Structure 1
Amino acid sequence: MSSPCKRREMDVMKLMMSDYSVEPINDGISELKVEFHGPKDSLYEGGIWKIRVELPDAYPYKSPSIGFVNKIFHPNVDELSGSVCLDVINQTWSPMFGNIKILF
Protein backbone atom coordinates (compact mmCIF):
# COMPACT_ATOMS: atom_id res chain seq x y z
CA MET A 1 0.00 0.00 0.00
CA SER A 2 1.34 3.44 -0.83
CA SER A 3 1.85 6.22 1.68
CA PRO A 4 -0.80 8.94 2.16
CA CYS A 5 1.53 11.45 0.48
CA LYS A 6 1.95 9.23 -2.61
CA ARG A 7 -1.80 8.61 -2.78
CA ARG A 8 -2.50 12.34 -2.63
CA GLU A 9 -0.01 12.94 -5.47
CA MET A 10 -1.55 10.17 -7.59
CA ASP A 11 -5.10 11.47 -7.07
CA VAL A 12 -4.07 15.03 -7.93
CA MET A 13 -2.34 13.81 -11.10
CA LYS A 14 -5.48 11.89 -12.14
CA LEU A 15 -7.54 15.03 -11.57
CA MET A 16 -5.09 17.14 -13.59
CA MET A 17 -5.29 14.66 -16.49
CA SER A 18 -9.08 14.84 -16.53
CA ASP A 19 -11.22 17.16 -18.63
CA TYR A 20 -11.30 19.71 -15.81
CA SER A 21 -9.12 22.76 -15.34
CA VAL A 22 -7.02 22.20 -12.22
CA GLU A 23 -4.66 24.71 -10.64
CA PRO A 24 -2.69 24.31 -7.44
CA ILE A 25 -3.16 27.02 -4.83
CA ASN A 26 -0.01 28.26 -3.08
CA ASP A 27 2.25 26.07 -5.28
CA GLY A 28 1.29 22.85 -3.51
CA ILE A 29 -0.96 19.86 -4.00
CA SER A 30 -2.93 20.18 -0.77
CA GLU A 31 -5.17 22.95 -2.11
CA LEU A 32 -6.56 23.00 -5.63
CA LYS A 33 -8.86 25.18 -7.70
CA VAL A 34 -10.95 23.12 -10.12
CA GLU A 35 -13.14 24.50 -12.91
CA PHE A 36 -15.59 22.49 -14.97
CA HIS A 37 -18.52 23.07 -17.31
CA GLY A 38 -22.06 22.22 -16.30
CA PRO A 39 -23.29 18.91 -17.70
CA LYS A 40 -25.20 18.98 -20.98
CA ASP A 41 -28.97 18.72 -20.78
CA SER A 42 -29.00 19.87 -17.16
CA LEU A 43 -30.00 23.07 -15.40
CA TYR A 44 -26.27 23.78 -15.03
CA GLU A 45 -25.46 23.55 -18.75
CA GLY A 46 -23.59 26.62 -19.96
CA GLY A 47 -22.19 27.42 -16.54
CA ILE A 48 -18.57 27.29 -15.50
CA TRP A 49 -18.35 26.01 -11.95
CA LYS A 50 -15.40 26.61 -9.67
CA ILE A 51 -14.61 24.56 -6.61
CA ARG A 52 -11.84 24.59 -4.05
CA VAL A 53 -10.49 21.24 -2.89
CA GLU A 54 -8.40 20.91 0.25
CA LEU A 55 -6.63 17.62 0.89
CA PRO A 56 -5.64 17.13 4.54
CA ASP A 57 -2.25 15.71 5.48
CA ALA A 58 -3.97 12.44 6.46
CA TYR A 59 -5.63 12.07 3.02
CA PRO A 60 -6.79 9.47 1.89
CA TYR A 61 -7.58 8.38 5.45
CA LYS A 62 -9.31 11.69 6.11
CA SER A 63 -11.82 13.17 3.68
CA PRO A 64 -11.12 16.22 1.50
CA SER A 65 -12.94 19.52 1.98
CA ILE A 66 -14.80 20.56 -1.14
CA GLY A 67 -16.63 23.82 -1.67
CA PHE A 68 -17.96 25.91 -4.52
CA VAL A 69 -16.31 29.28 -5.02
CA ASN A 70 -19.08 30.68 -7.19
CA LYS A 71 -22.76 30.69 -6.29
CA ILE A 72 -24.67 27.53 -7.13
CA PHE A 73 -28.11 26.41 -6.05
CA HIS A 74 -28.08 22.68 -5.35
CA PRO A 75 -29.57 20.63 -2.49
CA ASN A 76 -26.13 19.23 -1.56
CA VAL A 77 -24.38 22.60 -1.43
CA ASP A 78 -24.63 24.99 1.50
CA GLU A 79 -25.97 28.25 0.07
CA LEU A 80 -23.90 30.55 2.31
CA SER A 81 -20.53 28.80 2.45
CA GLY A 82 -20.54 26.79 -0.80
CA SER A 83 -19.53 23.65 1.10
CA VAL A 84 -20.54 20.37 -0.46
CA CYS A 85 -22.69 18.52 2.07
CA LEU A 86 -22.56 14.81 1.31
CA ASP A 87 -22.24 12.03 3.86
CA VAL A 88 -19.72 10.26 1.60
CA ILE A 89 -17.37 13.23 2.05
CA ASN A 90 -17.94 13.59 5.76
CA GLN A 91 -19.34 10.68 7.80
CA THR A 92 -18.92 7.69 5.51
CA TRP A 93 -15.59 8.59 3.89
CA SER A 94 -13.34 5.67 3.02
CA PRO A 95 -9.80 5.62 1.57
CA MET A 96 -11.17 3.61 -1.36
CA PHE A 97 -12.82 6.77 -2.68
CA GLY A 98 -10.75 8.98 -4.95
CA ASN A 99 -11.14 12.62 -5.86
CA ILE A 100 -12.29 11.91 -9.41
CA LYS A 101 -15.11 9.63 -8.20
CA ILE A 102 -16.18 11.99 -5.43
CA LEU A 103 -15.99 15.23 -7.35
CA PHE A 104 -17.63 14.17 -10.57
Structure 2
Amino acid sequence: MWNVTGPYQGGVWKIRVELPDAYPYKSPSIGFVNKIYHPNVDEMSGSVCLDVINQTWSPMFDLVNVFEVFLPQLLLYPNPSDPLNGEAAALMMRDRTTYEQRVKEYCEKYAKPEDAGQATEEKSSDEELSEDEYASSDEAVAGQPDP
Protein backbone atom coordinates (compact mmCIF):
# COMPACT_ATOMS: atom_id res chain seq x y z
CA MET A 1 0.00 0.00 0.00
CA TRP A 2 1.13 3.53 -0.66
CA ASN A 3 0.04 7.07 -0.01
CA VAL A 4 -0.70 9.41 -2.88
CA THR A 5 -0.99 13.16 -2.72
CA GLY A 6 -3.25 15.23 -4.94
CA PRO A 7 -6.83 14.47 -5.93
CA TYR A 8 -6.40 10.68 -5.50
CA GLN A 9 -5.28 11.09 -1.88
CA GLY A 10 -7.17 8.79 0.46
CA GLY A 11 -8.34 6.45 -2.29
CA VAL A 12 -7.82 2.70 -1.93
CA TRP A 13 -7.92 0.45 -4.98
CA LYS A 14 -7.69 -3.25 -5.54
CA ILE A 15 -5.25 -3.94 -8.37
CA ARG A 16 -5.48 -6.89 -10.75
CA VAL A 17 -2.10 -8.31 -11.79
CA GLU A 18 -1.84 -10.95 -14.49
CA LEU A 19 1.58 -12.45 -15.09
CA PRO A 20 2.18 -13.91 -18.56
CA ASP A 21 4.04 -17.21 -18.93
CA ALA A 22 7.09 -15.29 -20.21
CA TYR A 23 7.25 -12.99 -17.15
CA PRO A 24 9.62 -11.21 -16.36
CA TYR A 25 10.59 -10.98 -20.03
CA LYS A 26 7.03 -10.00 -20.93
CA SER A 27 5.23 -7.28 -18.96
CA PRO A 28 2.42 -8.02 -16.51
CA SER A 29 -1.11 -6.87 -17.24
CA ILE A 30 -2.17 -4.34 -14.61
CA GLY A 31 -5.69 -3.08 -13.94
CA PHE A 32 -7.77 -1.36 -11.29
CA VAL A 33 -10.60 -3.56 -10.00
CA ASN A 34 -12.69 -0.82 -8.40
CA LYS A 35 -13.48 2.29 -10.44
CA ILE A 36 -11.06 5.17 -10.83
CA TYR A 37 -11.43 8.36 -12.87
CA HIS A 38 -8.12 8.78 -14.66
CA PRO A 39 -7.09 9.64 -18.24
CA ASN A 40 -4.83 6.58 -18.52
CA VAL A 41 -7.21 4.00 -17.02
CA ASP A 42 -10.14 2.53 -18.93
CA GLU A 43 -13.18 3.25 -16.78
CA MET A 44 -15.01 0.03 -17.65
CA SER A 45 -12.21 -2.57 -17.60
CA GLY A 46 -9.74 -0.82 -15.27
CA SER A 47 -6.91 -1.50 -17.74
CA VAL A 48 -3.90 0.76 -17.35
CA CYS A 49 -2.17 2.57 -20.21
CA LEU A 50 1.37 3.14 -19.00
CA ASP A 51 4.32 3.11 -21.43
CA VAL A 52 6.76 1.61 -18.94
CA ILE A 53 4.48 -1.40 -18.52
CA ASN A 54 3.05 -1.69 -22.03
CA GLN A 55 5.93 -0.70 -24.35
CA THR A 56 9.22 -0.24 -22.51
CA TRP A 57 9.05 -3.12 -20.01
CA SER A 58 12.38 -4.65 -19.08
CA PRO A 59 13.10 -7.90 -17.21
CA MET A 60 15.05 -5.69 -14.80
CA PHE A 61 11.69 -4.37 -13.53
CA ASP A 62 9.58 -6.33 -11.11
CA LEU A 63 6.26 -5.98 -9.31
CA VAL A 64 7.88 -3.85 -6.62
CA ASN A 65 8.58 -1.27 -9.35
CA VAL A 66 4.95 -1.46 -10.47
CA PHE A 67 3.55 -0.82 -7.00
CA GLU A 68 6.18 1.49 -5.52
CA VAL A 69 7.04 3.58 -8.59
CA PHE A 70 4.90 3.14 -11.70
CA LEU A 71 1.38 3.26 -10.24
CA PRO A 72 2.08 6.10 -7.77
CA GLN A 73 3.64 8.10 -10.62
CA LEU A 74 0.61 7.37 -12.80
CA LEU A 75 -1.68 8.86 -10.15
CA LEU A 76 0.57 11.87 -9.54
CA TYR A 77 1.22 12.63 -13.22
CA PRO A 78 -1.65 11.59 -15.50
CA ASN A 79 -0.90 11.83 -19.23
CA PRO A 80 -3.98 13.23 -20.99
CA SER A 81 -2.23 13.11 -24.38
CA ASP A 82 -2.32 9.25 -24.37
CA PRO A 83 -5.76 8.49 -22.89
CA LEU A 84 -7.77 5.35 -22.35
CA ASN A 85 -10.51 7.52 -20.82
CA GLY A 86 -11.02 10.29 -23.35
CA GLU A 87 -13.60 12.08 -21.21
CA ALA A 88 -11.22 12.30 -18.24
CA ALA A 89 -8.38 13.45 -20.48
CA ALA A 90 -10.48 16.17 -22.14
CA LEU A 91 -11.81 17.40 -18.80
CA MET A 92 -8.30 17.46 -17.30
CA MET A 93 -7.02 19.60 -20.18
CA ARG A 94 -10.09 21.85 -20.34
CA ASP A 95 -10.94 22.38 -16.65
CA ARG A 96 -8.42 21.05 -14.12
CA THR A 97 -10.53 22.08 -11.10
CA THR A 98 -13.62 20.19 -12.30
CA TYR A 99 -11.44 17.20 -13.24
CA GLU A 100 -9.96 17.05 -9.74
CA GLN A 101 -13.43 17.33 -8.21
CA ARG A 102 -14.61 14.39 -10.35
CA VAL A 103 -11.55 12.37 -9.24
CA LYS A 104 -12.40 13.08 -5.59
CA GLU A 105 -16.04 12.10 -6.18
CA TYR A 106 -14.92 8.76 -7.62
CA CYS A 107 -12.56 8.24 -4.68
CA GLU A 108 -15.39 8.87 -2.23
CA LYS A 109 -17.82 6.67 -4.16
CA TYR A 110 -15.62 3.76 -5.29
CA ALA A 111 -12.24 3.87 -3.50
CA LYS A 112 -12.95 3.61 0.20
CA PRO A 113 -11.09 0.84 2.06
CA GLU A 114 -14.22 -1.31 2.13
CA ASP A 115 -14.64 -0.88 -1.66
CA ALA A 116 -11.18 -2.30 -2.32
CA GLY A 117 -12.01 -5.31 -0.16
CA GLN A 118 -15.38 -5.96 -1.80
CA ALA A 119 -14.84 -4.76 -5.36
CA THR A 120 -14.83 -8.21 -6.95
CA GLU A 121 -17.95 -9.42 -5.13
CA GLU A 122 -20.17 -6.38 -5.67
CA LYS A 123 -19.78 -5.38 -9.32
CA SER A 124 -22.86 -4.20 -11.16
CA SER A 125 -23.65 -5.89 -14.45
CA ASP A 126 -21.98 -3.18 -16.55
CA GLU A 127 -18.76 -3.50 -14.58
CA GLU A 128 -18.38 -7.28 -14.53
CA LEU A 129 -15.10 -8.74 -15.63
CA SER A 130 -15.04 -12.09 -17.34
CA GLU A 131 -13.87 -15.14 -15.47
CA ASP A 132 -10.94 -15.37 -17.90
CA GLU A 133 -9.62 -12.05 -16.58
CA TYR A 134 -9.39 -13.54 -13.09
CA ALA A 135 -8.04 -16.94 -14.13
CA SER A 136 -4.34 -16.18 -13.71
CA SER A 137 -4.40 -13.03 -11.68
CA ASP A 138 -3.04 -11.96 -8.39
CA GLU A 139 -4.65 -8.98 -6.70
CA ALA A 140 -3.21 -6.42 -4.36
CA VAL A 141 -4.64 -3.38 -2.65
CA ALA A 142 -3.07 -0.08 -3.66
CA GLY A 143 -3.42 3.23 -1.91
CA GLN A 144 -3.78 3.93 1.75
CA PRO A 145 -6.10 6.43 3.35
CA ASP A 146 -4.34 9.07 5.38
CA PRO A 147 -4.93 8.78 9.13
User: Any unmatched runs of 5+ in structure 2?
Assistant: 69-147
TM, length-normalised to structure 1: 0.58
TM, length-normalised to structure 2: 0.42
For the residue of structure 2 that corresponds to 1:77, the secondary structure is: coil
**Aligned twin of 1:89:** 53
- Distance in 2, matches of 1:75 and 1:85, equals 9
- Distance in 2, matches of 1:49 and 1:55, equals 19
How many residues of Structure 1 are paired with residues of Structure 2 in the alignment? 68
Relative to its length, the structure with more helix (as a share) is 2
Structure 2 residue identity aligned to 1:42: G
**Aligned twin of 1:75:** 39
**Aligned twin of 1:46:** 10
- Please give the root-mean-square deviation of Cα atoms over the aligned residues, in Å: 1.5
Q: Give 1:84 shift.
A: 0.8
For the residue of structure 2 that corresponds to 1:89, the secondary structure is: helix
User: Any unmatched runs of 5+ in structure 1?
Assistant: 1-19, 21-36
Identity of aligned residues (%): 74
Deviations 1:30-73 (A, max 9, x none): xxxxxxx652x321222211111011111000100000000001
Q: Give 1:78 shift.
A: 1.3
Structure 1 residue identity aligned to 2:19: L
- Distance in 2, matches of 1:42 and 1:82, equals 20
Relative to its length, the structure with more strand (as a share) is 1
Q: Give 1:74 shift.
A: 1.4
Higher alpha-carbon Rg: 2
Highest RCO, 1 vs 2 (Cα 8 Å, sep ≥ 6): 2
